Amino acid sequence: MKEPIFSGTCTALITPFQSDGCIDFARLGTLIERQIAAGIDAICFCGTTGESATLSMEEHEAIISFGVETVAGRCRVIAGTGSNDTKTALHLSLHGAMVGADALLLVTPYYNKTTQEGLLRHYTYVADRVNCPLILYNVPSRTGVSFQAKTYQTLSAHPNINGVKEASGNFSLIANTLALCGDDLNIWSGNDDHTIPMMALGAKGLISVASNLIPNEMVAMTHDFMNGRSKQAASRQIEWIPLIAALFSEVNPIPIKTAMKLLELDSGYLRLPLCEMDSKLRQVLIEEMKKSGILT
């Protein structure tokens, strides 16, 4: 049995950029403190929501180091260290482990993609060389490749592979994985709108985009379920579905950064090729924020 890195809600934190494109570490620090004040269970730096694909190696390492230092043990820190190049993933993973991240999140190789055998070799190569728990990240809508349940089963035997962030939306895959792996592989929802259904199957919680905006509410939802209040958790899930849909009406993290700016939170700028939100979709987002009561 593998103890989960965290149970509950982890925020996949945005990366605030200044108008000149530089990372705004002052704003990043403010965002971290807001998350911790909300009782978040973990923070993930340099994930998809953090625009990791646009970061240089130096920027990536600086954000992870800053995150670990600022959090200072007050919640778990997960470092996004995935790449479509195995040696780059190893380099980032070694750095994340060295500076004190609690776990490493590695997305499946994108663009060049790979076979199931390639996935086995890629993750085993990193896991064999890093003394830090790994969380696999399955998001085929972005990468074009998905794990199969048998591949999960093989990887779950590795002592350094703790679990997976599942964002495929494939509940048959999730159920089959749980049946094959049992307690040898922890699963977290990678989709805000699938959290409670996945926790009902056995997921340990959520790695969230929406909790950038509403951390208290997403923490309450997962903790309700964990504490046996399944009806309340389901009600919270349903309550936030319209807002979550608006937050994914365009490519993440465009809507979440837009929503945070509307609340005058320190979201900073997007980095090209991401750009401002479509005006019609932005208006829909505003209306959903008003309906939910978080924007007056």
Check which CATH number belongs to the domain holding 110 and give it: 3.20.20.70
Alpha carbon of 91 to those of 103, 123, 133, 135, 268: distances in Å?
Answer: 15, 13, 15, 16, 28
Whole-angstrom Cα distance, residue 50 to residue 256?
Answer: 11
Catalytic option among 123, 152, 165, 204: 165
234 in a structural domain: no
Reported pTM: 0.96
pLDDT over 90 for what percent of the chain? Answer: 99
98 in a structural domain: yes
215 in a structural domain: yes
263 in a structural domain: no
- Which pLDDT value is given to residue 266? 83
Residue 42, φ and ψ in degrees, nearest 5: -160, 160
- The verdict on whether 165 is a catalytic residue reads yes
pLDDT in tens, 170-194: 999 999 999 999 999 999 999 999 9
Full residue range of the structural domain in which residue 18 is found: 8-229
Catalytic option among 2, 110, 111, 137: 137
- Which pLDDT value is given to residue 1? 86
CB neighbours of residue 20 within 10 Å: 7
3 in a structural domain: no
pLDDT in tens, 11-55: 999 999 999 999 999 999 999 999 999 999 999 999 999 999 999
- The verdict on whether 257 is a catalytic residue reads no
Q: What is the mean pLDDT of the chain?
A: 97
185 in a structural domain: yes
Q: How many domains does the chain have?
A: 1
